[in-house]
């Protein structure tokens, strides 16, 4: 198999890589680019641990081929904080203890950020539906939902 050359932008930085035709964007991020913040859970689009944005749309990177990212803008968990400054969602996740083992957390943060960019004042129901594709087997979700709602409130008053 000949490898495919891909030019893309990841978290705003122009990035190039070679990948196999059947290699997922998730594998490219983790294994070729060393961006291991994005996690692999199920590999079949059910758990949301590998959530990234592709041209601004929230997607599972396990369901995207690396080759498809040609010319696209990819957003990952590594782009959520600005240097040492945490994103308000990250601060609130810590405050509310909205994580335990942490494997689902990058996916939740990327997904929640995508929600708040579209809707600065979501209802609890809207948050729960938006995040229904992110599975967490530790927290029972309530702390995560509270952290997201609290972040939205704080960002509105900022």
Binding site for other proteins (CB under 8 A): 1, 4, 21-22, 24, 43-46, 48, 51, 54, 57-60, 62-65, 67-68, 70, 111, 114-115, 129-134
Cβ count within 10 A of residue 145: 19
CB of 137 to other proteins, least distance (A): 15
Q: Are 35 and 78 in contact (CB under 8 A)?
A: yes
CB of 57 to other proteins, least distance (A): 4
Nearer to other proteins, 91 or 141 (CB): 141
CA atoms of 15 and 82, how far apart (whole Å): 19
CB of 84 to other proteins, least distance (A): 29
Segment holding 52, helix H or strand E: strand 51-54
Q: Dihedrals φ, ψ of 108, to 5°?
A: -60, -40
Nearer to other proteins, 79 or 122 (CB): 122
């Amino acid at each position: 198999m000949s490898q495919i050359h891909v030019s893309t932008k990841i978290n705003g930085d122009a990035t190039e890589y070679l990948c196999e035709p059947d290699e997922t964007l998730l594998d490219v991020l983790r294994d070729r680019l060393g961006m291991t913040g994005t996690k692999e859970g199920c590999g079949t689009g059910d758990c949301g641990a590998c959530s990234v944005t592709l041209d601004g749309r929230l997607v599972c990177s396990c369901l995207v081929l690396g080759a498809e990212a040609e010319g696209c803008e990819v957003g990952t968990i590594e782009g959520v904080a600005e240097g040492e400054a945490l994103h308000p969602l990250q601060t609130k996740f810590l405050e509310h203890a909205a994580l335990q083992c942490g494997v689902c957390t990058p996916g939740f943060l990327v997904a929640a950020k995508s929600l708040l960019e579209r809707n600065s004042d979501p209802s609890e129901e809207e948050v729960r539906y938006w995040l229904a594709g992110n599975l967490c087997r530790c927290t029972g979700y309530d702390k995560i939902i509270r952290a997201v709602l609290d972040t939205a409130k704080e960002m509105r008053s900022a």
